Amino acid sequence: MLVPKTIRIIQGATNGVASTLNIKLFHSAYNSLKYEKSLRILNVSSPEIADFLLPLGDAVIQKETSETSIANEPLICAAPTTHTINIAHSLNIGESLHGYFKQNGELLTLHSLPSIKPNTAYALADLLAPAAKEQQTTAQTLKQKLSLRGPWHCLATTADKLTIHTYPAPDKTPLFNALGINWYALAAFEAAGKPVSILRQDLRGTALFPQDEQPHLQIPCSAVYLDLDDTLIIHGAVNNSVLAMLNNCEKTNTPVHLITRHARDPHLTLSEHAVPAGRFASIVWITDGSPKSAHITAGNAIFIDDAFQERLEVENKGALSLPPDASHILHLA
């Protein structure tokens, strides 16, 4: 019998907008991990020693280190730590890298983010593009020198020095989180021995970063295909952020199709939760085991589902596949 690993989730000190974002990230990570059988989340007051910590916060501990002193120190799910090292790199001051290294040392994903300025629009294709070759080289050097594992980001400080933070930045993470890249959950799954992977999709739209607000994604869309269980209805209650997205769809005349493998007639569940069936252009109740992609007929559609395997299958057929977290910041154009 597999004994689940214990995990203690720690919220770091935050202020202002970062605090609000941190709370959302905490709930997102917690909900992603809560029902994972290979993990057991310790109560805050539990005296039990956790197998690993999962830090969620923007507070870091400054830690000067040589290139070799932490070569064997596992950074995945370690307490938030900042490492400053001398390194030749090509990044400009203010640029940052967000990455996720698999435990075997291979680079899983890497994105280049410009220095984010308030009230500025960024094209998604540019914002979430794969890193340039020079940045890939920088990342590989960091991997070799620091034995990086799990989520991380780093900020360039001078021409020959980088400061590496071994946890994602709360002010930038919600954008990735809404696209299905939950850095915290990925780190915990990997630490528990689960395989991890990320969908790499061709996003076309605009990312807006208004001052003192969470980022917004503006994506052209002809139709939305929405899951029911653990998406529209979560833990027996209506997901208010998804409900708000439905209201946005009504304002933009974007048809929403409910597509579900629900255990019973979905009309009954919608009625029990006071969600009018008439809010949906159609209700697709799959009872024959067919793939959801077979029922997505609209071009330029967005598919929203909590299950990664369902999103993967649909994405392979060409539709943009997003998790329920996307409803927090998704503005359909």
- Which band of pLDDT confidence, cut at 50, 70 and 90, is reported for residue 205? confident
- Residue pLDDT, tens place only, 320-330: 999 888 888 88
Q: Give 90-113 as a DSSP string.
A: -PPTT-EEEEEE-TTS-EEEEEEE
Could you tell me the pLDDT band of residue 73, with boundaries at 50, 70 and 90? very low
How far apart CA 100 and CA 177 sit, in angstroms, is 13
Q: What is the pLDDT of residues 234-279, one digit of tens each?
A: 889 999 989 999 999 999 999 999 999 999 999 999 999 999 999 9
Whether the predicted pLDDT of 126 surpasses 80:
no
Per-residue model confidence (pLDDT) at position 75: 43
More confident call, 218 vs 195: 218
Task: Read off the tokens for 100.
Answer: 């996720």
> What is the layout of strands, in order, in the sheet containing 256-260?
282-285, 256-260, 223-226, 301-304, 320-322
Confidence band of 31 (pLDDT split at 50, 70, 90): confident
CATH number, domain 220-332: 3.40.50.1000
Region 101-122: what's the mean pLDDT? 62
Tokens 């998604």 belong to 124
Instruction: Enumerate the domain spans of the chain.
Output: 5-191, 220-332
pLDDT at 23: 72
Give the model's confidence band at 291: pLDDT under 50 very low, under 70 low, under 90 confident, else very high.
Answer: very high
Query: Are 84 and 39 spatial neighbours (Cβ–Cβ below 8 Å)?
Result: no
**What are the tokens at 87?**
């390194």
Tokens linked to 269: 């569940």
The residue to which tokens 């979905």 are assigned: 266
